[in-house]
C-alpha cells in the first residue's frame, strides 16, 4: 500500500510550484508550453504554448495543450495544433505565443497566435479553430489586426466575459482590442498605449485594470513594467517596474496574468518565461503570485509556493 502511494505521488508530481525549475508533466517530461496562455473550462485549466521539444519535425510548428485542476500538476494532452507553413511564410517561419479563447455563441475554441516570416517582417496574427479544447485546431487565416503590425500577443478575458487581444504594434506601441462576436476577427480598438512593450498582459482586479509588458530586448530579460487604468480605454498611468530593475524580472518575461478567484481570496499569478534561446526546449517558467491592489503591483522574489484553487489562497515558502 505504502509503495503504491509512493509511486502515485511520484507520478502525479508536486503540488508546489517551483519557479525556474524543470516542471515535469504527468509523463515526467519538462512542460513545453512556452509563451503560453491558460483557458479555464469548467473546473479545468488548459495551458497552451509553444512546443519546442528536441527532435520535432523542423518543418512543422506545434502548439501544445496540457490540463490541470490545481495549476501545479499538468497532464499532457497532445499537440493541439500541428501545422506546416500554411500560407507560404517560407522556411524558418515563426509561430509564437498561442492563446485560446472559448466562444460560447459558436461553441468553438479559437486560437490566436503570432505568425511571421523568419525575419519577423510579416507581423501578423493567425486564427485556428476547433470543436474541442485540445483540438485538432484547423487553420483559418492570418491577418494584421485592424491593419496594424502585430508581433507579441496577449489574451485578456474581462470579468463580463468579453475577449480582448493585446498586441505589439512596433511603430506605435501596445494595443488592446476587442474580438468580434465569433472571435474570428479583431473588431474594436480599446486603446493604444504608446509604449514599446512585448509580452503584454492585462488583469482586472478590484475595479482596476493592470497592464504589464517587457521592453524589446529579444530573448534577454529586462525590467518588466506595469500601468493601471480605471477603464481599458485609459487614461493609463505611467509605467513602473514590477520588481527591482536590477533583477531584470528575475530573468523572466511576462506572458500572462492569471486571476484565480476562490472562496476566500483571489490570487493573481504572474506567468513568465525564462528563455534559453540556444536550448529553447529547456526554457523555464517563472510563475509567482503577485502582490497586487490599490493601484500597486509587484512581483515577489521567486520562491517555491503553493496554491489552493478552491480557496484562492497562495502560500510562498519562507
Ligand atoms: C521577444 C518576444 O517576446 C518573444 O516572443 C520572441 O519573439 C523573441 N522576442 C524573439 O527574439
pTM across the whole model: 0.96
Cα of 287 vs centre of ligand 1, distance in Å, is: 18
Strands 94-103 and 108-116: antiparallel
Q: Which helix (H) or strand (E) holds 193?
A: strand 186-193
- Looking at residue 6, its pLDDT comes to 41
- Looking at residue 14, its pLDDT comes to 84
Cα of 43 vs centre of ligand 1, distance in Å, is: 31
The x, y and z cell numbers of residue 26, run together, are: 504527468
Which residue in the block uniquely carries the three cell numbers 523542423?
Answer: 58
pLDDT in tens, 223-265: 999 999 999 999 999 999 999 999 999 999 999 999 999 999 9
Strands 34-41 and 153-157: unpaired
The x, y and z cell numbers of residue 168, run together, are: 505589439
What mean pLDDT value characterizes the chain?
95
Cα of 207 vs centre of ligand 1, distance in Å, is: 31
- C-alpha dihedral (242, 248, 250, 253), degrees to nearest 10: 80
Question: What percent of the chain has a predicted confidence (pLDDT) above 90?
Answer: 95
Q: Does residue 79 surpass a pLDDT of 70? A: yes
Cα of 52 vs centre of ligand 1, distance in Å, is: 14
- Looking at residue 5, its pLDDT comes to 43
Which atom of ligand 1 is least distant from the CA of 214? 3
Judge if the beta carbon of residue 116 lies within 6 A of ligand 1: no
Judge if the beta carbon of residue 219 lies within 6 A of ligand 1: yes
Find, among 54, 131, 59, 52, the residue nearest to 98 by Cα.
52
Q: Is the Cβ–Cβ distance between 111 and 99 less than 8 Å?
A: yes
- Looking at residue 13, its pLDDT comes to 65
CA-nearest residue, atom 11 of ligand 1: 218
Which atom of ligand 1 is least distant from the CA of 253? 3
Q: Does residue 1 surpass a pLDDT of 60? A: no
Q: Does residue 285 surpass a pLDDT of 60? A: yes
Cα of 15 vs centre of ligand 1, distance in Å, is: 30
Q: Name the β-bridge partners of 287.
A: 271
Judge if the beta carbon of residue 97 lies within 6 A of ligand 1: yes
- Looking at residue 3, its pLDDT comes to 45
Judge if the beta carbon of residue 114 lies within 6 A of ligand 1: no
Find, among 19, 13, 16, the residue nearest to 288 by Cα.
19
Q: Is the Cβ–Cβ distance between 135 and 81 less than 8 Å?
A: yes
Mutate to test the pocket of ligand 1, among 61, 93, 95, 96 (most ligand atoms within 8 A of CB): 96
Cα of 283 vs centre of ligand 1, distance in Å, is: 13
- Looking at residue 254, its pLDDT comes to 98
Q: Is 92 exposed, middle or buried (0-12, 13-18, 19+ CB in 10 A)?
A: exposed
CA-nearest residue, atom 9 of ligand 1: 218
Q: Is the Cβ–Cβ distance between 298 and 242 less than 8 Å?
A: yes
Q: Alpha helices of the chain — where are they, by DSSP H?
A: 2-12
Find, among 307, 316, 311, 317, the residue nearest to 68 by Cα.
307
Q: Is 266 exposed, middle or buried (0-12, 13-18, 19+ CB in 10 A)?
A: middle
pLDDT in tens, 39-61: 999 999 999 999 999 999 999 99
The x, y and z cell numbers of residue 255, run together, are: 506572458
Q: How far is Cα 199 from Cα 240, in angstroms, rounded to an integer?
A: 15
Which residue in the block uniquely carries the three cell numbers 527591482?
Answer: 244
Amino acid at each position: 500500500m505504502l509503495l503504491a502511494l509512493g509511486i502515485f505521488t511520484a507520478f502525479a508530481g508536486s503540488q508546489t510550484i517551483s519557479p525556474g525549475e524543470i516542471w515535469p508533466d504527468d509523463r515526467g517530461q519538462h512542460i513545453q508550453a512556452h509563451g503560453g496562455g491558460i483557458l479555464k473550462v469548467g473546473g479545468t485549466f488548459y495551458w497552451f504554448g509553444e512546443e519546442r521539444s528536441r527532435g520535432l519535425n523542423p518543418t512543422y510548428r506545434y502548439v501544445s495543450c496540457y490540463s490541470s485542476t490545481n495549476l501545479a500538476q499538468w497532464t499532457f494532452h497532445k499537440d493541439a495544433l500541428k501545422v506546416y507553413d500554411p500560407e507560404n511564410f517560407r522556411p524558418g517561419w515563426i509561430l509564437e505565443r498561442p492563446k485560446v479563447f472559448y466562444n460560447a455563441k459558436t461553441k468553438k475554441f479559437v486560437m490566436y497566435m503570432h505568425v511571421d516570416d523568419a525575419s519577423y517582417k510579416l507581423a501578423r496574427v493567425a486564427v485556428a479553430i476547433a470543436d474541442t479544447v485540445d483540438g485538432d485546431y484547423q487553420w483559418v487565416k492570418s491577418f494584421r489586426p485592424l491593419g496594424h503590425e502585430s508581433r507579441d500577443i496577449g489574451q485578456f478575458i474581462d470579468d463580463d466575459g468579453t475577449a480582448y487581444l493585446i498586441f505589439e504594434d512596433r511603430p506605435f506601441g501596445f494595443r488592446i482590442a476587442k474580438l468580434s462576436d465569433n472571435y474570428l476577427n479583431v473588431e474594436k480598438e480599446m486603446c493604444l498605449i504608446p509604449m514599446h512593450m512585448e509580452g503584454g498582459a492585462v488583469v482586472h482586479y478590484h475595479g482596476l485594470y493592470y497592464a504589464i509588458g517587457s521592453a524589446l530586448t529579444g530573448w534577454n530579460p529586462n525590467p518588466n513594467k506595469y500601468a493601471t487604468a480605471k477603464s481599458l480605454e485609459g487614461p493609463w498611468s505611467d509605467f513602473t517596474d514590477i520588481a527591482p530593475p536590477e533583477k531584470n524580472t528575475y530573468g523572466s518575461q511576462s506572458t500572462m496574468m492569471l486571476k484565480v478567484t476562490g472562496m476566500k481570496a483571489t490570487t493573481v499569478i504572474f506567468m513568465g518565461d525564462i528563455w534559453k534561446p540556444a536550448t529553447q526546449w529547456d526554457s523555464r517558467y517563472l510563475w509567482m503570485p503577485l502582490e497586487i491592489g490599490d493601484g500597486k503591483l509587484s512581483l515577489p522574489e521567486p520562491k517555491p509556493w503553493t496554491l489552493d484553487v478552491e480557496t484562492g489562497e497562495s502560500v510562498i515558502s519562507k
